[in-house]
Amino acid sequence: MKIADLITWFEAWANPAWCESWDNCGWQIEPGVLQEKARVLVCLTPTLAVMQEAIALNANLIFAHHPLIFNPLKSLRTGEAIAEMVRLAFTHNIGIYTAHTNFDQVQDGTADVLGQILELKEVTPIVPTQGGLGYGRVGLLEPFLTLQELLAAIQTRLAPPNLIFSPTADLQQTISRVAVLGGSGASYISAVAKTGAQAYLTSDCKFHQFQESRDCNLILIDAGHYATERPACDRLVQKFQSLNLDWVQLSKNDEDFRQFFA
């Protein structure tokens, strides 16, 4: 499959026109690779480490969730990471394509995969957008779990380096309804509270957002940005493999930019 055909297939599923006004979905760098057979390296974040990996593997497309370029660039200068990414992309003929908030909304996107990992049933979006799609997912646990069992399942299945949750007096309380949203989802706390969810799994939550969640009688669980979104990248690789591409692989140099001192 040519890169142009792969992008056409993907955009029929996750239209970049659905992305938010502040976002930057679609082509980040297209150095003239559209008619080449697709050799795709999938990653969460396009970094220099991922670019070096793509060069070593002879990939011609980096397919990322996070945009390389969020804001309009005023300059490109030697020594800057984005400038180096641009130089290497054109030197080695490697395109960079991003699917961000459009990929968040769709079936088998970031939120949907997270709900599947927790085996949620009767799943619906936290905030619907169009055609049954939307941001986040909320559904039922079957069987119900205690809070301690839910936290253990998240730790086992997502392997976050650090798992933060709201203070609670009873780890043995029964949890039946859970909301999930991969990446930075604290701004959806009030919307989640209206769904009747007892617990909300997301990331990048600040101190007072845990307070807000507590005041909404909602258990907030922060498993980190990388751990909550990386699984959807793995699912995307599986979807691409079903298209019989020339070559596709999940990046091994993708990074969680945080470390925790034991």
Q: Could you tell me the sign of the dihedral formed by the alpha carbons of 101, 105, 109, 113, in that order?
A: positive
Quote the crossing angle between the two packed helices 110-117 and 225-241, to the nearest 10°. 100
The answer to whether 55 and 94 have CB atoms below 8 angstroms apart is: yes
> Is 100 known to sit in a ligand binding site?
no
Only one residue has tokens 């927790």, namely: 118
> Is 225 known to sit in a ligand binding site?
yes
Segments of the chain assigned E as strands: 26-29, 39-43, 61-64, 95-98, 120-124, 127-128, 134-135, 137-146, 164-165, 174-184, 199-203, 219-222, 247-250
Whether cis (ω within 30° of 0) applies to the bond prior to 143 is: yes
Residue type, 11: E
Other CB atoms within 10 Å distance of the CB of residue 55: 15
> Is 66 known to sit in a ligand binding site?
yes
Binding residues: 65-66, 104, 225, 229
Binding residues for a divalent metal cation: 65-66, 104, 225, 229
